[in-house]
């Protein structure tokens, strides 16, 4: 990784950086079941400096890694970065890996601390527990989730717990599929797609796309162990395929996006018990849409006024207004200016949204209208091979 970083004239001291995870496996390492993955055009974790005024991204380095670091997570102090490496080539058990990196706060460069097994094949999601003492990982192709302890230097230790989901698989046809949809991706087996703790850290939630369930775990912060909640899971409509979720800033509402059903479901969340109660289901697509679509990312704006939902094949971001009671109303959509938006993220100020167009090999930048929630394309494209995830580090702050 190379390149000096400096603040532009008139900019606050310390640059704003973006780390982009990519699918970077050589052709021979692409799993035959990975129907949505091209043969790894990325080169690892790409580093950019972001213009705070325009959202334009300037490349300043690459940490080359050939195991598809497709999901990234920063610790709260902005001193460590963790990557889920979406491979299945480690050990006899055919596991994936998670890597820990130290961040040079002077320039954003990464130094590999260590790499450990993820507890299953094809880790697709990684998050840091609010305590900062554990990293949580969801293994898509292994159908498992794992807890990895954070060591004193920020590196990772062997898993303190691994859970394998089991149950009845959903049908190949989603209950809420659009007319004419052939969207089918994950009901061949169990597929853990996301794992994250609530803000208190007392409960950990993970979604399994193949089982059409959101699992709720009680978390023992001393031992790093998961135990089933009461109830241990809540079911989504058969075949709809829950993929990601995002909590509203008030902590009382959770929004889940379904990959094959192309829906967002609003849940009331009881932070005292970890229980979820569904209250609304709404399509991510405009009225009258027909054909196949695979949903991807879901984000709630920092002010809690809007929800954004990603549509692959339709290649759009659905925009929803949040009412005072948490229910959603379709407010519009924006073309992603690329192909197959796998994920997107806001910069730390919330004035820009950066969309990773996986098959388009680019990141498109949009300015966010705070009043309407609308997205206005800035005209800025950044070429990146198969971008999968983007996270931001503000060197003017702690993280």
Distance CA 373, CA 369 (A): 5
Q: Which residues contact 289 (CB under 8 A, 6 or more apart)?
A: 178, 283, 314
Q: Could you read off the pLDDT of 264-323 as tens digits, one per residue?
A: 999 999 999 999 999 999 999 999 999 999 999 999 999 999 999 999 999 999 999 999
* 285 contact partners, CB below 8 Å, separation of at least 6: 178, 262, 293, 311, 314, 316, 318
| Amino acid 90: pLDDT | 77
Q: Which pTM does this prediction carry?
A: 0.94
pLDDT digits (tens, 9 = 90+) for 16-75: 999 999 999 754 444 443 445 556 899 999 999 999 999 999 999 999 998 999 999 999
Mean confidence (pLDDT) of the chain: 93
**Are the C-beta atoms of residues 285 and 178 closer than 8 Å to each other?**
yes
The radius of gyration of the chain from alpha carbons, rounded to an integer in Å, stands at 19
- Long-range contacts made by residues 179-184, C-beta under 8 angstroms, separation at least 24? 179/290, 179/291, 180/290, 180/291, 180/292, 181/260, 181/262, 181/290, 181/291, 181/292, 181/293, 182/292, 183/259, 183/260, 183/262, 183/292, 183/293, 183/294, 183/313, 184/260
**Nearest CA-CA partner of 69 in 107, 96, 105:** 96
pLDDT tens per residue, range 63-113 = 999 899 999 999 999 999 999 999 887 777 689 999 999 999 999 999 999
């Amino acid at each position: 990784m190379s390149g000096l970083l400096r603040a532009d004239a008139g900019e606050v001291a310390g640059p704003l950086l973006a780390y982009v995870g990519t699918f970077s496996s050589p052709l021979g390492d692409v799993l035959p079941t990975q129907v949505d993955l091209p043969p790894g055009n990325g080169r690892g974790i790409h580093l950019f400096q972001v213009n705070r005024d325009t959202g334009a991204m300037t490349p300043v380095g690459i940490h080359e890694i050939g195991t598809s670091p497709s999901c990234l997570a920063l610790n709260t102090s902005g001193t460590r970065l963790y990557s889920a490496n979406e491979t299945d080539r480690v050990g006899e058990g055919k596991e994936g890996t998670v890597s820990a990196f130290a961040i040079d706060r002077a320039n954003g460069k990464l130094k590999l601390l260590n790499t450990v097994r993820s507890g299953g094949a094809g880790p697709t999601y990684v998050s840091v527990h609010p305590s900062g003492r554990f990293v949580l990982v969801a293994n898509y192709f292994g159908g498992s989730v794992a807890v990895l302890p954070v060591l004193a230097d920020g590196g990772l230790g062997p898993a303190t717990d691994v859970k394998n989901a089991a149950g009845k698989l959903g049908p190949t046809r989603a209950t809420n599929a659009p007319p004419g949809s052939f969207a089918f991706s994950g009901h061949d087996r169990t597929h853990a797609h996301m794992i994250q703790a609530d803000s208190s850290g007392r409960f950990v939630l993970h979604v399994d796309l193949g089982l059409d369930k959101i699992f709720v775990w009680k978390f023992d912060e001393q031992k790093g162990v998961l135990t089933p909640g009461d109830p241990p899971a809540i079911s989504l409509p058969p075949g709809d395929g829950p993929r990601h979720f995002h909590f509203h800033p008030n902590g009382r509402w959770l929004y889940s996006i379904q990959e094959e059903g192309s829906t967002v479901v609003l849940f009331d969340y009881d932070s005292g018990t970890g229980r979820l109660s569904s209250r609304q289901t709404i399509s991510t697509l405009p009225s009258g849409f027909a054909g196949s679509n695979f949903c991807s990312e879901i984000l709630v704006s920092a002010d809690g006024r809007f929800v954004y939902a990603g549509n692959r094949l339709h290649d759009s971001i659905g925009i929803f207004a949040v009412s005072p009671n948490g229910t959603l109303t379709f407010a519009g959509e924006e073309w992603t200016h690329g192909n197959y938006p796998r994920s997107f993220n806001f910069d730390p100020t919330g004035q820009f949204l950066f969309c990773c167009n996986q098959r388009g090999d680019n990141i498109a930048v949009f300015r966010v209208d705070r009043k309407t929630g609308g997205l206005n394309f800035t005209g800025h494209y950044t070429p990146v091979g198969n971008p999968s995830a983007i996270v931001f580090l503000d060197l003017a702050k702690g993280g």
